[in-house]
Copies of this chain bind each other. A is one copy, B any other.
Amino acid sequence: MAKVKKTPRPKAETPKGFRDYFGTEVTERSHMLSQIARVYHRYGFEALESSAVETVEALGKFLPDVDRPNEGVFAWQEDAEGDKPGDWLALRYDLTAPLARVYAQHRNDLPTPYRRYAMGPVWRNEKPGPGRFRQFYQCDADTVGTSSMAADAEICAMLADCLEEVGIPRGDYAVRVNNRKVLNGVLEVIDHNHVLDRDAILRTIDKFDKVGADGVRELLTTGRRDASGAFIDGVNLHENQADVVLAFLTAKSEHPAKTLSNLRYAVGQSPVGAEGVDELEQIAELLAGQNYNPGRIDIDPSVVRGLGYYTGPVFEAELTFEILDEKGRKRQFGSVSGGGRYDGLVKRFTGQEVPAVGVSIGVDRLLAALHAKGRIGGKEAGPIVVTVMDRDRMADYMAIVAELRNAGLRAEVYLGNPKNFGNQLKYADKRQSPAAVIVGPDEWNAKVVQVKDLILGAKIAENATLEEWKERPSQYEVPRDQLVAKLREILAANGLG
């Protein structure tokens, strides 16, 4: 008889570029999201949750990252209905495009201006890389329907408050503000007749973070040989044109007034440039009365991320402390949030210009920063484990565990095969249990329980001499009715109270 071929087993794998989050990875993030939501809410923002799925038509093509042209969305076509071909649907790639759709759809019912916050996963159909996933969280706040710079200033202040709320102290972060209109002014100055390749200039400016002022100057003019020896062609600006761009990029001074006058110089007679500088000045003035001093929120034209996407003010929050990278070198942690003012998103739907400004906080980056600084990520204690000596008394063990849970203690009864007691303690170890409860026939009879302090036990096992072991027992016999009190004592002694 021929062998019957079995259907091969499915592979138990996350799709490429996706991952699973376990335990504290989930709870730390959800804690951070609720901290940020609390600040957003205090600022008067309303929660909005749109679905993960939008029509491709509604989403449009507004991906903010100019340097990833291959980036796309996950999309599929609905089944046809009769003759009518199905709509194309896609997973949202950010929370801003859905906001524009929601505002256009519900604008008659929403207040104007509409302050809203949203948090949740977004999806990008791009090549995954180390630490770069195709699903990640965004945590946004936007104000739709006002062109007042007070909205922009408010969002910068709120961003600073959020960072402090999640545990980044003042001094460890900087919110930096630039303005696309100032750049437009600069371009007007050097390219009054629109003959230059402005996209190429924009892409070059975007490299300022990586190659610095000298590098940008080379790339704007004659070209540059990079570290690998490869030669990158320049954009062929004249030196005096490059001067103006560099005057813009390096306008930052310690004194905001000086930064602004540097910018006024760079934009010369350009009306849009002057408008941009005025906006920055307004933001600075609006914040000055509120203790958001320079050093905390700064006008800083070296912020280039997002300049290609936003149409007015552009913000970025950077963490300024140093961490050690994977090779042990010190480096600044860098950007954790970005935002700015954008137009046109709602207009696509309604034809009406609706100004909007918003910010997006990268919670996964922020969590990584807090981990890197050791501010979160101490291992969470697991549940107290009630071990099982006699499987026929399972109801009694469950009654014990119910009593602990009703007292608010995190606890569970061992549900595996109880035959091998060692396995039960190994399980408690894997769960990082702070304590185990042990009740055998003798204990049932005497109405007592054994309580084992597993944290102390582990410490003793590691370090103690025999003498110390005797003096500091880690297992206690207590009357049955003192179990909860004893466990509370052990938790408190281990800083878990």
Contact = CB atoms under 8 A, between A and B. Distances in A.
Interface of A: 9-16, 18-27, 30, 34, 37, 41-44, 46-55, 57-58, 60, 74-76, 78, 87, 89, 91, 101-102, 104-106, 111-113, 115, 121, 123, 134-135, 143, 145-146, 148, 150-151, 153-154, 157, 161, 285-291, 348-351, 382-383, 394-399, 402, 405, 408-413, 415-416, 427, 430-431
B286 A395 contact: yes
A285 B395 contact: yes
Contacts of A135: 51-53
Given A48-B21, A76-B75, A151 B415 contact: yes
A438 B305 CA distance: 39
Contacts of A134: 53
Contact of A154 (B19, B104, B413): B413
Contact of A51 (B19, B409, B415): B19
B427 A111 contact: yes
Copies in the complex: 2
Contacts of A151: 415
A41 B18 CA distance: 25
Nearest to A412: B44
B51 A18 contact: yes
B87 A15 contact: yes
A412 B10 contact: no
A13 B58 contact: yes
Contacts of A291: 402
Contacts of A20: 48-51, 102, 105-106
A48 B60 contact: no
Contacts of A14: 50-51, 54, 101, 105
Given A15-B53, A23-B46, A399 B290 contact: yes
B416 A112 contact: yes
A58 B111 CA distance: 45
B145 A416 contact: yes
Nearest to A12: B104
A115 B46 contact: no
Given A14-B54, A15-B78, A52-B123, 17 more contacts: A10-B57, A10-B349, A11-B58, A12-B102, A12-B104, A20-B49, A20-B51, A20-B106, A34-B34, A42-B409, A43-B410, A44-B411, A52-B52, A53-B74, A53-B123, A153-B398, A290-B399
13 contacts: A10-B57, A12-B102, A15-B87, A20-B49, A20-B51, A22-B106, A25-B49, A26-B48, A44-B412, A53-B123, A74-B76, A75-B76, A157-B402
A44 to B, nearest CB: 3
A18 B52 CA distance: 9
A interface SS class: mixed
A442 to B, nearest CB: 21
A51 B146 CA distance: 36
Nearest to A27: B47
Contact of A13 (B48, B55, B145, B413): B55
A382 to B, nearest CB: 7
A76 B53 CA distance: 13
Nearest to A46: B23
B55 A11 contact: yes
A138 to B, nearest CB: 14
B413 A10 contact: no
Contacts of A13: 55, 58, 101, 105
Contacts of A101: 12-14
A427 B75 contact: no
A410 B383 CA distance: 37
A161 B398 CA distance: 15
A242 B135 CA distance: 52
Given A15-B51, A41-B410, A399-B289, A350 B22 contact: no
A55 B10 CA distance: 9
A23 B44 CA distance: 11
A411 B274 CA distance: 32
A24 B405 CA distance: 30
A195 to B, nearest CB: 26
Contact of A15 (B89, B143, B399, B413): B89
Given A10-B349, A76-B74, A348-B9, A52 B413 contact: no
Given A51-B135, A289-B398, A22 B44 contact: no
Contacts of A55: 10-11, 13, 15
